[in-house]
A and B are shown apart, each in its own frame.
Chain A
Amino acid sequence: MESLLLTDGGRREFLRGLIRMDGYEIGVRVELPPTFPLCLAKVFIDSISPRVERRPHILTDGRLCIEAESDLLLDVHDPWGILRETLVRAHRLLHQILTGDRAAEFARELISYWKGSPRGLPVPCFVAPDDRPRLTKALYFEELLLAVADDPREPARFSPDFSRLPPCTLRNAIYIPIDPLAGDPAFHPDKLATLSELRKYVRALPSRDGRVLDKLLGRSGKHSPLVILGVRRPEGERALVGIQFHDTRGGHPLAHEGNGGSVEKIELQRRDAPFLASRGGADPHLRGRKVLLAGCGAVGGYLAMALARAGVGSLTLVDGDVFELANTYRHVCGIARNGMPKVFGLRQEIERLVPYITVSPYQQRLEAFLHERPQTLDSHDLVIAALGNPTIELELNRRIWSSHRNAPALFCWLEPLGLGGHALLTHGRASQSPARGCLECLYDHPVRGAALENLAAFAKPGEAYTRDSFGCGGRYLPFGDLDAQNTAQLTARLALRVLRGEVEGAPLQSWKGDARAFLQAGYEVTSRYESQTGAFAETLAYIRPDCAVCQT
């Protein structure tokens, strides 16, 4: 490579030269961005001789898409090494561009070439791609394409914003799965935007799909019809792009060779639940799962949000309380919903942040809720109690165990001053019947006639750990936001395992925090807390063979 170090106004240094490879002569320019060596050098292709049409991985300004830098660790103490290796990578990529399967590369990178929506913004797309042609729906406000959706209600499920739109018209659009690589070694994204080329790909559909498509084309609107292409990538999954036909003559342009029309590329932004969930680390399979959450306080709030973010599709929230300023520093809603009932405020916050979730709020105490809806424990996949009220939780535990049909239940609670927190699963499925072990096992009288104690406790039982803020009803247990988050996280992880059917038995989990603040306040810890130096393992040891609830 011939090279020459140049400066561009004294700010940007670059190398320029020629690379000869594979029978081509390539004019290359290397720039060092101002942040170099915190990033790779930029490599631009100024010319290729002889001329190569349709070159993948080279952007319109000539920049070579070398590699996603997020995957790379750069040794900033070796800038020469970074530069040298950038060129090696560029060399390798150029070789691939010039000699490799360009069609496959174009199919792989289809979306990045499908720019050009003159309206600028990609169109929200709620279509889940599959392998058969079918009708889908397009939402228009006058002539403005607002969204594409298999189910026109889906956009509103995605975000309440869609339900606040002005009245839209719904038109049929057609989803067509195509496999351009199957019959065209010279595939290029631009071909999809050419009516004659597009027809070739469509005609290549299996005959059964072709017949289905013929019928669909008849049902599609004639006015500016819209087609969603599910383009098969080399790895097998499909990328979605849209084509809007304009100035159509004689019917749908894809229906008949004689029909005509112009083509507009529509850039789609996938918002369908399976895509977003997988892309965002959520589990698309949880969308069908229904969770009842009793208690929307600090732990419950984070828990609800964690379950929503994990992809759970339906949450029933039960809590009689109203947000107060006291909740500010340890609730997922912060100060945002002050004065609102917690269930409604939390629903708003969840819907604001997470799509595809149905939140059903009930502003009442759990006892009353269960009294009014006795079947509710049977109609959810999981019941979670984050009440901070063991009396009611023990009652819920008894009710859960009153019928084999009832859902598994998770109880979670935390301890004062950052000592720790716990989550206990009960009534989970074992091979035959619910696995033994329940909240009642955990509460016992140390000696007959003595007060009940929680055997998992870290804070010595029998002490009053609550503090007083301004008299009656103002007592609260001191703990911080991170304690609530830790407990919620522990519980949420267990909840997800339950929803995925990954838990057998009735494990108790505990996290152990720092006791300094607790001890400084003059309190004592239990031997359970003291005996464990590291993290607590999941345990079944708490299960009592004489438990009156789960062993009968």
Chain B
Amino acid sequence: MANIQKYFEQFDEDIRLKRFDENQMLREKRDAIHRRLREKFEAMRRAGADIPSFETFNQGSYQMGTGIQPAEGGEYDIDVGLRFNCDQTKYSNPVALKQVVADALEGHTSIPTRMRRSCVTVYYKQNGEQAYHVDLAVYVYAHANSSRLVIAKGEHGSGLGDRKWEESSPQELCDWVENRFSNKEEEAQFLRVIRALKRWKTEKFKTDGQNAPSGIGLTVAAGQWFVPSIKRPFSGPIAFDDRTAMRAFVDRMVREFHLAGHKTDGSSLYRLEVRVPVVPHGDIFERMTSGQMSTFRDRLIQLRDQLDAVEHELDPVDACTRMLKEFGEAFPVPDKSKTGAVRGIATTTSGTSA
């Protein structure tokens, strides 16, 4: 095969986003929101409202190192946690606290703030167009004197059952992902493959994004099943093989699906269960329907087959063209003239004599 590792790494360079600490824009947005909330809450308290103090913390893909640039037409998505210093008994209705946050941020940007099931979202414009948003997840403590958090779920109009404080361990989850591999090369490959798969699902579910598996779902699945493919030859540099590592992980996911029933046309329905490794230990894909799951599985199978086909391409141009079909236009395809003569896989030059 043509060795496409360098193109894989180039692709990653193009799509990856730096973590919070390295990304000034993210820090600025987060800090501006923090400031705004503090000022607003202070004013409200002066007016007699009883609003607990809070801290912000980083969560989500930026924190884990799995963040990617949005694809063409997509939006940046920044996750920030708001932890209020009270326990859940203070707000029996979690939507009430989310509303306090949403109200405080109303008018912070030119686009109206929205309350969504798991967060409050602030939208930003860039060059006159909506360009990115910050998802603020609202947490309080589960009990007085407890360090365990619960997240506010529900929105306006949610039924009573959907408005609830739900156990959640956002920082523990970040820690779990960040500590999957203590070896820095293995971690680097782990994160590259997750980022590539997130871009893949964006590409593959471009027209039906609501059916796509979540990025965190792919991340947690990778945390469970990813096996690095790195060679440390006794001479020369470390040899990463991201294609092989990804192929093995995708194949593992495909094999983890189980039959979950049949559609009316008789075709099979599948489900993939991936348990979150921290409290509340639920299935990270629980909100996907079996139909969405089955589509996800079909596309994973297509990806696996493409990765196999890439393995057998002799010409890096052809191999990268196949990758481009799966991962989108950001995947680099070398110029035919720059790749030189096509080299054999099974028949190569030995460079030796005696």
Contact = CB atoms under 8 A, between A and B. Distances in A.
B28 to A, nearest CB: 40
Interface stretch (A158-166, A211-219, A309-317, A409-417): A409-417
A325 interface: no
A541 B346 CA distance: 26
A448 B244 contact: yes
B348 A448 contact: no
Nearest to B241: A447
Contact of A479 (B344, B349, B353): B353
A528 B235 contact: yes
A448 B229 contact: yes
Given A300-B354, A388-B352, A477-B352, A446 B3 contact: yes
A60 interface: no
A549 B179 CA distance: 36
B258 interface: no
B353 A539 contact: no
Given A413-B353, A414-B353, A542 B229 contact: no
Given A448-B311, A450-B3, A462-B349, A297 B231 contact: no
A373 to B, nearest CB: 22
B266 interface: no
B3 A477 contact: no
A444 B3 CA distance: 13
B350 A454 contact: yes
B343 interface: yes
B188 interface: no
Interface residues of A, number: 49
A477 B343 contact: no
Contacts of B351: 415-416, 454, 457, 459, 461, 463, 465, 477
A465 B234 contact: no
Contacts of B236: 455, 526-528
Interface string B230-268: 010111110111011000000000000000000000000
Interface in A457-510: 457, 459, 461-466, 476-477, 479, 484, 487
Contact of A446 (B231, B344, B352, B354): B231
Contacts of A462: 343, 348-349
B345 interface: yes
B3 A461 contact: no
Given A386-B354, A413-B354, A527-B237, A447 B349 contact: no
Contacts of A476: 353
Contacts of A10: none
A452 B231 CA distance: 14
Given A447-B5, A449-B311, A487-B354, A527 B348 contact: no
A527 B2 CA distance: 20
Which of B5, B343, B350 lies at the interface centre, i.e. has the most chain A CB atoms within 10 A of its CB?
B350
A456 B235 contact: yes
Interface in A534-549: 539, 541-543
B354 A455 contact: no
A335 to B, nearest CB: 20
Interface in B184-217: none
B97 to A, nearest CB: 51
Contacts of B350: 389-391, 454
A542 B354 contact: no
Contacts of A464: 349
A456 B236 CA distance: 9
B244 A447 contact: yes
Interface residues of B, number: 30
B234 A542 contact: yes
Contact of B352 (A300, A414, A450, A527): A414
A305 interface: no
B1 interface: yes
B45 interface: no
A298 B354 contact: yes
A295 interface: yes
Given A298-B354, A415-B352, A462-B349, A455 B233 contact: yes
A526 B239 CA distance: 14
A387 interface: yes
Interface string A278-299: 0000000000000000010111
Contact of B243 (A448, A453, A484): A448
A444 B243 contact: no
Nearest to A465: B351
B348 A451 contact: yes
Contacts, number: 111
B311 A387 contact: no
Interface in B312-354: 312, 343-354
Interface in A415-462: 415-416, 444, 446-457, 459, 461-462
A415 B237 CA distance: 21
B230 to A, nearest CB: 10
A163 to B, nearest CB: 33
Contact of A387 (B5, B347, B354): B354
B234 A388 contact: no
Interface in B1-26: 1-3, 5
A388 B343 CA distance: 20
B243 A447 contact: yes
Contacts of A416: 351, 353
A415 to B, nearest CB: 7
Given A449-B1, A477-B352, A531 B231 contact: no
A414 B346 CA distance: 22
Contacts of B312: 449
A541 B239 CA distance: 16
A389 B346 CA distance: 15
A465 B354 contact: no
Contacts of B237: 527
B343 A412 contact: no
A295 B352 contact: no
Contacts of A466: 349
Which of B235, B244, B347 has most A Cβ within 10 Å? B235
Nearest to B3: A450
Interface in B275-318: 311-312
Contacts of A451: 343-348
Nearest to A543: B234
A455 B1 contact: no
Nearest to B240: A447
**Shortest beta-carbon contacts, A-B, top 9:** A449-B1, A528-B235, A388-B354, A449-B311, A451-B348, A477-B353, A388-B353, A447-B241, A541-B234
27 contacts: A295-B354, A297-B353, A297-B354, A300-B354, A387-B354, A390-B350, A447-B239, A447-B243, A448-B229, A448-B243, A449-B345, A450-B1, A450-B345, A451-B345, A451-B347, A451-B348, A454-B351, A454-B352, A455-B234, A456-B235, A461-B351, A464-B349, A465-B351, A476-B353, A477-B351, A527-B235, A528-B235
Given A413-B353, A527-B235, 19 more contacts: A295-B354, A297-B354, A388-B352, A391-B350, A447-B5, A447-B244, A449-B243, A449-B244, A449-B311, A454-B352, A455-B233, A455-B234, A455-B235, A455-B236, A457-B351, A462-B343, A477-B351, A477-B353, A484-B354
